[in-house]
């Protein structure tokens, strides 16, 4: 950052001093949020090829080259990217942009709900452990058209055959536990959240083919602050209802954000000069290394366990690849450790409690996608916790 015209380091919260090398004693490791700063070193290496300069007169208008406030070039690059990675089918589908996929979550719920007030509201459900925003948005926007109805599995036995007025969130790979998921209610409308279906975090098995799929640049390039996501939609009616939502809500996504996203996708696709070095290789290697370290450490302890993972064949890399999930879904195994979040907090680690995913407090989530400093400190604190435990036994 610039201070009085000089460049100074922006230190991680646990470090200070002119070169950020002084550790703040007792500082807790922050593994709470999914801030994807693990990708910052990649973009530092590709600073010039990813930079965007926007003159004051440029892109002032509400209008864009495409209809509905979207950049045709950006849409084209999104399709190209999916076909390059092989993670989603876009042919014959509509694409819609949102201010992060966060904005598209409720746009999708709105679009799949009945549009007549005489029909009963759609029931919105997700499988535990689920990303809490599905619930908070559905409850907060408090529409007559839909209602939060909790855990999907609860409805499987209650409904005899089909669940036509249900909207089921299917997060695949799942946040927090990385599981690949499928819908479980026959006849439901499904919102597939594929935020983590990139070679960074998951084997790419086949192009995703859902009727309504959400993606975000936040977990692809790491530019969470740009607030850019997109939906791939099969049905034109659903697409139009999402467009209406976006039109009324924000009149589309910031044109500056679209410009930056285009530049980033061009860099990802190797179209920019000097953009050599695949982001997918970098991201995968970083995440694999982090998972390997944490897994090894946790395996040496009886007190904690992690989700089961195994190597899988990835079409994108064309080989069997090791696991590299975005999050660790940690379980406290001891009977007395009912609040796993609190156990870690006492050991100087800030995690996100299982309660926040509709799950048991015996579970807690550790984010592995934050900065290297955050991850290194997490390992240091986890190591201390496990070593102390072993000494006591
Ligand atoms: N879906 C899932 C499963 C997520 O984990 C996140 C971000 N943590 C989002 C959607 C929202 O991402 P964004 O709004 O940054 O695009």
For residues 152 and 220, membership in a common domain is answered with yes
Instruction: Supply the CATH number for residue 223's domain.
Output: 3.40.640.10
Q: What contacts 61, CB < 8 A, 6 or more positions away? A: 255
Instruction: Compute, in angstroms, the gap from residue 381 CA to the centroid of ligand 1.
Output: 27
- Domain containing 120 equals 67-268
Together in a domain, 388 and 352: yes
User: Is the domain of 138 the same as that of 287?
Assistant: no
221: tokens are: 């390039």
Other beta carbons within 10 angstroms of residue 80's beta carbon come to: 16
129 and 209 both lie in a single domain = yes
How many whole angstroms separate alpha carbon 386 and alpha carbon 297?
8
- Would residue 57 count as lying in a domain? no
Out of 250, 268, 286, pick the residue that ends a domain.
268
pLDDT, one tens digit for every residue, the chain (393 residues)? 555 666 556 777 888 888 888 888 888 999 999 999 999 999 999 999 999 999 999 989 988 887 778 899 999 999 999 999 999 999 999 999 999 999 999 999 999 999 877 789 999 999 999 999 999 999 999 999 999 999 999 998 787 677 789 999 999 999 999 999 999 999 999 999 999 999 999 999 999 999 999 999 999 999 999 999 999 999 999 999 999 999 999 999 999 999 999 999 999 999 876 656 699 999 999 999 999 999 999 999 999 999 999 999 999 999 999 999 999 999 999 999 999 999 999 999 999 999 999 999 999 999 999 999 999 999 999 999 999 988 877
pLDDT at 35: 98
The last residue of one of the domains, among 198, 233, 268, is 268
Looking at residue 69, what DSSP letter applies? G
Same domain assignment for residues 161 and 309: no
pLDDT digits (tens, 9 = 90+) for 107-134: 999 999 998 777 899 999 999 999 999 9
Both 113 and 156 in one domain: the answer is yes
**Pocket lining for ligand 1, CB < 6 angstroms:** 34, 100-102, 131, 171, 175, 193, 195, 216, 218, 224, 229
Nearest to 258 by CA among 48, 90, 72: 72
Nearest CA to ligand 1 atom 7: 34
Distance 208 CA to ligand 1 centre (A): 18
Shortest CA distance to 107 belongs to which of 167, 19, 184, 182? 167
Residue 302 alpha carbon to ligand 1 centre in Å: 32
Residue 372 and residue 283 share a domain: yes
My answer on whether 262 and 351 are in the same domain is no
Q: Which atom of ligand 1 is nearest to the CA of 217?
A: 16
CATH of the domain at 337: 3.90.1150.10
What angle do helix axes 100-112 and 133-141 make, rounded to 10 degrees?
Answer: 60
Residue 99 lies in a domain: yes
Q: Of ligand 1's atoms, which has the minimum distance to the CA of residue 216? A: 16
From 249, 268, 287, the end of a domain falls on 268
CA of 384 relative to ligand 1 center, distance in Å: 31
Same domain, 179 and 307: no
Residues 85 and 178 in one domain: yes
Out of 39, 99, 133, 177, mutate this one to test ligand 1's pocket (max ligand atoms within 8 Å of CB): namely 133
pLDDT at site 1: 54
Which atom of ligand 1 is closest in space to residue 103's alpha carbon? 14
Examine residue 307 and state whether it is found in any structural domain, yes or no.
yes
- pTM for the whole structure: 0.95
Q: How many domains does the chain have?
A: 2
Cα 184 from Cα 192, distance rounded (Å) = 12
Same domain, 227 and 283: no
User: Do 24 and 90 have their domain in common?
Assistant: no
- Is the residue at 60 inside a domain? no
Q: How far is it, in rounded angstroms, from Cα 36 to Cα 223?
A: 8
């Amino acid at each position: 950052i610039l201070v009085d015209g000089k460049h100074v380091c922006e230190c991680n919260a646990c470090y200070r001093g002119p070169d950020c090398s002084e550790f703040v004693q007792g500082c807790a490791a922050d593994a709470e949020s999914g801030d994807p700063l693990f990708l910052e070193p990649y973009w530092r290496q590709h600073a010039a090829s990813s930079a965007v300069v926007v003159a004051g007169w440029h892109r002032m208008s509400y209008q864009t080259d495409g209809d509905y406030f979207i950049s045709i070039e950006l849409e084209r690059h999104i399709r190209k990217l999916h076909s390059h990675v092989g993670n989603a089918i876009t042919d014959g589908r509509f694409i819609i942009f949102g201010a992060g996929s966060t904005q598209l979550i409720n746009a999708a719920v709105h679009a799949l709900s009945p549009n007549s007030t005489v029909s009963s509201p759609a029931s919105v459900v997700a499988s535990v452990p689920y990303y809490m925003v599905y619930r908070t948005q559905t409850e907060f926007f408090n529409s007559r058209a839909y209602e939060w109805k909790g855990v999907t599995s609860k409805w499987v036995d209650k409904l005899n055959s089909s669940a036509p007025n249900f909207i089921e969130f299917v997060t695949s790979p799942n946040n927090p536990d990385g599981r690949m998921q499928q819908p479980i209610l026959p006849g439901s409308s499904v919102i597939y959240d594929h935020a983590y279906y990139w070679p960074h975090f998951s084997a790419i098995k086949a192009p995703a083919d859902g009727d309504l799929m959400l993606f975000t640049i936040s977990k692809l390039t790491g530019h969470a602050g740009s607030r850019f996501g997109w939906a791939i939609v099969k049905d034109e009616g659903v697409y139009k209802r999402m467009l209406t939502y976006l039109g009324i809500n924000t009149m589309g996504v910031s044109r500056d954000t679209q410009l930056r996203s285009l530049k980033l996708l061009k860099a990802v696709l190797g179209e920019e000069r000097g953009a050599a070095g695949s982001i997918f290789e970098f991201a995968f290697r970083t995440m694999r290394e982090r998972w390997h370290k944490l897994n090894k450490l946790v395996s040496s302890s009886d007190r904690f366990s992690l989700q089961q993972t195994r190597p899988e064949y990835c079409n994108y890399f064309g080989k069997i690849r090791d696991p590299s999930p975005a999050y660790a879904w940690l379980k406290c195994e001891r009977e007395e450790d009912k609040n796993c979040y609190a156990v870690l907090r006492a050991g100087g680690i800030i995690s996100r409690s299982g309660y926040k995913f509709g799950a048991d407090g015996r579970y807690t989530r550790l984010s592995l996608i934050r900065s290297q400093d955050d991850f290194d400190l997490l390992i240091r604190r986890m190591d201390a916790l496990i070593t102390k435990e072993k000494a006591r036994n």
